[in-house]
């Protein structure tokens, strides 16, 4: 028999994160806003330098994440929407986790498979996108 979720269960509880406020898992609305900002920036940069080729936009998006997550704790979209990326256990995500996360995010499919309020692109490298 499996345990049914109770009212005290919430996304991030198994990671030791708070239910709400700073340090809680970022809600879907903020995530969508953040990714929209990052895709928009990637489009503008790629259009300026590479003629808005689809591959150039995609790679620019990935470079934005790989550069900004380790340096400022999140992509520009994350930060604008009040989020930061951290290790699931807390603390700085490091250098390799953002790279693995970004490659998986770039494949798209892992981002739509969710577990405990996180996409597979966060589960595999052991990261969590939380409210700042």
- Which tens digit of pLDDT belongs to each residue from 43-85? 999 999 999 899 999 999 999 999 999 999 999 999 999 999 9
Residues in the chain: 132
Q: Confidence class of residue 7 from pLDDT cuts 50, 70 and 90? A: low
Q: Domain ranges in the chain?
A: 22-131
pTM: 0.89
3-state secondary structure of 99: helix
CB 129 within 8 A of CB 26: yes
Is residue 4 scored above 60 in pLDDT?
A: no
pLDDT at residue 116, as a whole number: 87
**Buried b / exposed e along 72-86 (16+ C-beta atoms within 10 A):** ebbbbbbbebebbbb
**Phi, psi for 37 (deg, rounded to 5):** -65, -45
Rounded to 10 degrees, what is the CA torsion of 41, 42, 45, 46?
-150
């Amino acid at each position: 028999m499996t345990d049914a979720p109770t009212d005290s269960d919430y996304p991030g509880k198994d990671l030791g994160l708070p239910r709400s406020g700073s340090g809680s898992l970022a809600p879907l609305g903020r995530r969508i806003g953040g990714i929209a900002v990052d895709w928009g920036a990637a489009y503008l940069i790629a259009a300026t330098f590479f003629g808005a080729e689809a591959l150039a936009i995609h790679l620019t998006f990935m470079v934005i994440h790989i550069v900004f997550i380790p340096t400022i704790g999140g992509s520009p979209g994350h930060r604008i929407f009040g989020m930061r990326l951290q290790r699931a256990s807390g603390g700085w995500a490091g250098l390799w986790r953002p790279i693995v996360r970004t490659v998986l995010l770039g494949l798209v499919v892992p981002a739509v498979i969710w577990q405990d309020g996180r996409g597979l692109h966060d589960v595999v490298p052991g990261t969590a996108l939380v409210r700042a």
